[in-house]
Each structure stands twice: as C-alpha cells, then as structure tokens.
Amino acid sequence: MHFSKTYVQLLLSLPPELRDNAVEYRQLKKLINQVATELNSLGLNPLVLQRLLGHEETIVGSANFRELGEGSQCVTSEEESPHQPINVVYEIASESTYLEPRLRLLLKHPHDAATGISTEQHTHSSIPDKDLESILHALRLRFVIFDDEVSSLNDIPKQTDLIIPLRSDAAFFQLLNSTLSSLFEHFDGLYDNFSSTVTALACAIASRARPTTSSAPRSFSVYSPVANNVAHVRPSSGGKSDLYTWREVFQLYVEAEVFEGIGGVNRCERSVEEAEKRLQAFERRIKEKKGSLRLSGSMETLDLFMALNLFILNVKKWQFANAEATRKILKKHTKRTALPIPSHLTSKLDGPIPASSSTDLALIPQPLTSFTRLLVQAIGETLLPIIPHIDDYSCPICTSIAFKPIRLGCGHLFCVRCLVKLQKLAKSNCPMCRAPTVLKADRNNVDYALLNLMADWFPFESREKLRANEREAAQEELEELGLSESSGCSIM
C-alpha cells in the first residue's frame, strides 16, 4: 500500500483535534510535480541538474551550504568544474516567514570555461553539448536575456549571471514550513489543556485515595512524644477509602512501562505498536480492580485516567505520522527534482530525529523532548506522587515497612525491632554509615511524624508489621526463658 493511503488511514483513526492538524502530504506531492515540470521546462531534468550541481546520484543533505547574507543560504557543488560552460547554484533566500528558492546560473563562454581550450578540443565536460544547447534554448524562450543572434554556446557573451526564481518550489517549502510551525503551536495548546486535565484528575484521585482515617476522624489518633506508651501505638481501621485500589492501579501502571522503558537496557521510548500493545495489556489488568472501588465517582475517575493515556497514544501516533510524512515528502522532493534538501527547516528547532528515519533524510524540526515524553512526564510529576509508595518507607535491614521508625543520630532510619536486635548484639555502629549511634538510641529517637504518616497511609502493612513484631518478641522471650514452641509448652 502506498504511503499516502496508509497516512490517510492512520489520520482517520485519530480524534479530529489531531487529524485536522497534520502535514498535507497529498498537496505537497502535487507541488513537487509542479516543481519537476517547472525545471523540465528549463531543460533541467533531474539527470542534468544532478551533474550541474556536481552529484552523479541523488544525495540528500550532503551538499555544501554557504551563507549568502542575512536570511539567505545556498547549495552548491563540492567542486566547481572549470571546463563547464554552465555553473548552477541552488539558493533559498528567506525574508521573515517567506521562502524564495531559486537557481543561479553562471553562463560562461566555452573558451573561458575551458581555460583557452575550445569545446571541440575538450572531451571531458560533465554535460553533453546537446543538453547545454537545449538549456540555452529553453532559457531564451522563457527569459529575455539574449539577442536573437545568440543561437549556440559559442555565441554566449563572455559571462552571464542569471537568477531563476522557482515559484512552485517556493510554494512547496512555504506550505511545509507553515504546516510544521502550526503543528507545534497546536501542540502547545493541547499540552496546556492536558496539564489542566491532569491537575483536575489529581484532585479527584486525592479525594478518593485519601487515608482511611480521614473518612473517620473520630478514630484518628495523633502519636507524639508525650504519648504514655509508644509500644501500644496501633493504626486504626478507619473508614471507607479507595486508597489501596488506586495504589495497585498506579503500581501496575509503573510496571507496565507503557510509553517508556525505565530499567536497564530497556530504558528507551516505546514504538507506537509496542506502546499500544502495553496499554491494552494494562487496561485488561485493571478491569478487575474496578470492582474494588467503593467511593462514588471512583470508577469515572479511573476511566478518565485511561482516557488520558489513550490520548497520549494518539499523540504518539500523530507525531510519528507527521515525522514520517515529512521525511518521505522531503525524500520525494529530492528524488523528483534533484535539488538538495535545504537546512532552513532545521534552523528553528534542533531536536532528535526519529529512530525509524535516516539522519540524511529526516530534516524535521522537533522539540528537544518528544511530544509523548512531555505528556508522560506530566502524569509522572502530578498523578503518581499523590499516593505514597511503601518502598519509600521500608527498613533497609528487614526490607518491610519501618513502622515505629527509629531515626538514629546519624539520620538513618530503621524499624524498632531491627534496632533492638542490633542493641542486643551490642552492635554500636549504624549499618548504613558506620557511625556509633545504635547504642545511644532510645524512645526519644522515635520519628513521630513518620509514625503518623505510616499509620495513616499504610494501615494494613503497619498492623501486619506490629503482629509480626509481637510474634517475634514473644518467641525471643520464650527462648530467653529456655522455652520454645517446639518444646510443647505455651504461655496463656
């Protein structure tokens, strides 16, 4: 299937706000045909023009660029042949947003071009005389530059400098440049709307994934240094909340790595196909989580979260489609006309080139960060931090939640059971920094602010850690008394 049909089908799968702001591939193709027709009317077919510009093959992006002046640039051959009666330079001058591609033809008398050697004696000219004669004839028919007596190469004045504007080429680059500029402006508006939606979604999730105690204020207790007995601190069961369901949803989302790989060798941006496959897999995994949502509006909030991710996927398709369309249309421009691709389109933004495209062909202006990455960062910075993750509050020794946390004088934090074990073993140095702070710790080292946070945001894990600590403490007491569960004795 031709790319133009594939491109149209891909755009039709996108929402109107994206579909209506894309590279006009078919219109650009028509303009390329007009450029080729315009050049052929001058006798400059692709083969002749390649030789005049010094390229035997169509080489994109390899021509020299030298400044003509402010807002202007030109493409010229690597070497100027001293034996060629016609030298051609492809220029693109720009004034503000207007582009003016043109050819500069320097016509030389054959004797001057060959440095005193006549055309008949010189047999190494890169352009056959018949092609040069046809170019001269086309120029004389189109432009009033020669007298009627000038009918052959030998009749050319000593040196003639002719500038030929390429109107169809100007229309081509003007359309392409304006389309790409409006495309980036449109994304700025999309990004602003997306950011406001993410902020509103963050507020909705925060109200439904609140700590369990916030829905039952009478059961909430603040633990502080003036508490009578910190050993009896227990998290309350609290009221209704979808905290744990949303924590699981976010955990699954991070593990899915839908749009970017974040670990090891897989750290990269996903392709469109891979991102779509991973998003579908993530959606299947969270379907069962919808039944766990208890608060009003939670299901609609989860649907909005999925809609935002689908929008990111569509933006990724939109960006890929525009990049591929631009790459292919520039390649087609060079293939049909033999005119080297100018660097004007890369002068505004110097960004990365899509991995799927050749660095010689993809002269596509892009922001330093891809569209998709900006949207994913908005979710990562605004939504995911709403709910604390248990890995950020774990004890480095037992790796479970550090409930009843003890903060040593060196600043490192451990759960109370692990610290008690260190003290019983007379280990005085901190396991993290080797500072002699372990034996100095007492109840004054309890981090009450963190204790309250853990009891509030991790009630299930905190209660389980308390039960595990109590079982372990009881077992240690039995062993100190010479008793154990294996001996068959039990203490009622």
Strands (E), 355-418: 405-407, 413-415
3-state secondary structure of 377: helix
pLDDT tens-digit profile of 132-165? Answer: 566 655 555 454 444 444 444 455 555 556 778 8
Report the topology of domain 391-481. Herpes Virus-1 (3.30.40)
CA distances from 291 to 62, 242, 474 (A): 60, 11, 39
Residue 323: the pLDDT is 85
pLDDT tens-digit profile of 190-203? Answer: 999 999 999 999 99
Nearest Cα neighbor of 246 from 199, 196, 207 is 207
Q: Which helix or strand (DSSP H or E) is residue 454 part of?
A: helix 448-457
User: Where residue 291 falls among pLDDT bands split at 50, 70, 90?
Assistant: confident
- Confidence check: pLDDT of 284 > 50: yes
DSSP H stretches of helix in 296-415: 298-337, 371-382
Min mean pLDDT across 216-225, 363-372, 431-440 is at: 216-225
Full strand arrangement of the beta sheet holding 98-108: 64-69, 72-76, 86-95, 98-108, 159-165
pLDDT tens-digit profile of 60-79? Answer: 333 333 333 344 444 443 34
Residue burial 196-233, b: 16+ Cβ < 10 Å; e: rest: eebeebbebbeebbbbbbeeeeeebeebeeebeeeeeb
Pairing of strands 72-76, 413-415: unpaired
- Confidence check: pLDDT of 188 > 70: yes
Min mean pLDDT across 137-151, 263-277, 327-341, 387-401 is at: 137-151
Q: What is the C-alpha to C-alpha distance for residues 149 and 480, in angstroms, rounded to an integer?
A: 122
Domain residue ranges of the chain, discontinuous segments joined by +: 1-55+85-107+159-208+241-340+370-387, 391-481
Q: Structure tokens of 314?
A: 């569509």
- Confidence check: pLDDT of 8 > 80: yes
Q: Structure tokens of 25?
A: 């591939």
DSSP H stretches of helix in 98-166: 110-113, 129-142
Pairing of strands 159-165, 98-108: antiparallel
DSSP H stretches of helix in 107-235: 110-113, 129-142, 167-208
Do the Cβ atoms of 51 and 126 come closer than 8 Å?
A: yes
* Residues 6+ positions from 70 with CB-CB distance below 8 Å: none
User: Where residue 180 falls among pLDDT bands split at 50, 70, 90?
Assistant: confident
Q: Structure tokens of 224?
A: 């502080």
Q: Mean of the per-residue pLDDT values for the chain?
A: 75
**What torsion, rounded to 10 degrees, do the Cα atoms 432, 435, 438, 444 define?**
-100
Q: How many residues does the chain have?
A: 492
Residue 208: the pLDDT is 86
User: Where residue 212 falls among pLDDT bands split at 50, 70, 90?
Assistant: low
